[in-house]
Chain A
């Protein structure tokens, strides 16, 4: 089984504050794993480190065997890692389809001179991009809104759009940061199905950060638990559900009823 992502002894400091301590993971191809923990545990920081937003103070990050530690974000995306954001970062003043098309920009095969002169290459590439974008939106049921400005979309659809946009970069590894945040129970169920199906359709490896236990326990094959930057537990859903340290971290020691 091929390992898609490896973090080796990754530690990260923000000034004097240690946000992540000695984080290790070996994510196999096709896996659907979860990363959970109380707020401030360091989960989003891990995502930021993997995607090059920060360079880890110590440690190495390997993607498909190659060292990507400290590379610039857009290069990491090019190599095949995509992510969504905890607090939605959609291009609000762009249309739905343009949000997708931006994500296809780095694979667009024409130069600025082609744009200016409107060459045949320009038209062909634009047609290809538009078609791919449309097909992708269709999978998410967003094709009807494709010419609407993103900011006019309801919240649930924006979350889907962000996932679609991440997929538009044709990643091998998808990092989902709280994809179910703010969703009602019905939307959550639909999301869980969506995540499963995209993993299969697009041959993805998925690492997911989530607070909603139903999602994590429901779809993750394996779960890592963080608290204060440390990994405090790792295992399959049942093991984690009953792990004392995990329960303490979330609820405080001895049941935690104040």
Chain B
């Protein structure tokens, strides 16, 4: 069976965590800005995977190799567009209504996207193999007992790169500052002349884009896609965001890596445990530290 701790699992866990991080960041940013758990976020991830799938297949059928960068851009764009549409059609009208309405609607949007993709004849409910070899040829490196494929390296590098990019935007640009302001106090930000809806839209663009990128990376590394592929990763990424402190960007990253590594180790031990560990983490967090590892307690004003 081998040692419980081993390098291979750790590396796999980091890969998984990188992907969760891209999804979790979108969740946490949207929650920070509009206090909404966007259940449909996992579906933006799925849309990114399918968008890149179709692009690559299209290219392969026509006989040319679509540049890697372009596919990335397309997957990011697909995620962003889906997010903006969801916001515009379903979330914006409910912005000032009771939160429960928005939550139920998010649920509805998620289901709608999933079933729509499942029902559309050219997509369909069954698994499809993602053409990762046509996209980037796989290469395996070996170090003793450990194998690292180039996909893992790509996943981690792209993830970390995007996270650094995001952190730069949030910390050092005016838009990032506006985003932080809106998430702290919407009314004050409005009084400072910040266009709230624009900032919200930008947040959805960024969040959706990251999810879309994660979709592409997942297609490449775990090359099976299907319309419901966003459900579990979405849920786990959300739990990771809660673990780190919902609304907190570094927290989402931290929580995701903890989630990815724990899940990988748990699965290697016992597959049922692997399924349940995400919920176990959630319950532990909610019972013992509901504000998350890096979050602050926000008391309700009475």
Contact = CB atoms under 8 A, between A and B. Distances in A.
Say whether A associates with B: yes
Interface of A: 14-15, 44, 48, 53-54, 85
A15 B302 CA distance: 16
8 contacts: A14-B299, A15-B296, A15-B297, A44-B302, A48-B302, A53-B302, A54-B299, A85-B302
Nearest to A45: B302
Contacts of A44: 302
A153 B257 CA distance: 53
Contacts of A48: 302
A81 to B, nearest CB: 15
A27 to B, nearest CB: 21
Contacts of B297: 15
Interface in B277-302: 296-297, 299, 302
Contacts of A54: 299
Nearest to B300: A53
Interface residues of B, number: 4
Interface string B70-114: 000000000000000000000000000000000000000000000
A249 B297 CA distance: 31
Interface of B: 296-297, 299, 302
Contacts of B302: 44, 48, 53, 85
Contacts of B296: 15
Given A15-B297, A44-B302, A53-B302, 5 more contacts: A14-B299, A15-B296, A48-B302, A54-B299, A85-B302
B91 to A, nearest CB: 24
A44 B302 CA distance: 8
Chain B contact residues, majority secondary structure: loop
B290 to A, nearest CB: 16
Contacts of B299: 14, 54
CB-CB nearest 8 A-B residue pairs: A53-B302, A48-B302, A14-B299, A15-B296, A44-B302, A85-B302, A15-B297, A54-B299
B98 to A, nearest CB: 12
B247 to A, nearest CB: 16
B285 to A, nearest CB: 20
Contacts of A14: 299
Nearest to A85: B302
A247 B265 CA distance: 66
A48 B301 CA distance: 10
A250 to B, nearest CB: 23
A54 B297 CA distance: 13
A85 B300 CA distance: 14
A57 to B, nearest CB: 13
Contacts of A85: 302
B248 to A, nearest CB: 15
A85 B302 CA distance: 8
A15 B299 CA distance: 10
Contacts of A53: 302
A83 B297 CA distance: 26
A114 B297 CA distance: 41
Nearest to A54: B299
Task: Give the interface centre of B296, B297, B299, B302 by most chain A CB atoms within 10 Å.
Answer: B302
B295 to A, nearest CB: 12
A175 to B, nearest CB: 12
A54 B301 CA distance: 11
B294 to A, nearest CB: 14
A48 B299 CA distance: 12
A85 to B, nearest CB: 7
A253 B297 CA distance: 36
Nearest to A86: B302
Nearest to B296: A15
A48 B297 CA distance: 17
Contacts of A15: 296-297
Nearest to A48: B302
B97 to A, nearest CB: 15
B184 to A, nearest CB: 14
B116 to A, nearest CB: 35
A54 B299 CA distance: 10
A44 B297 CA distance: 20
B61 to A, nearest CB: 59
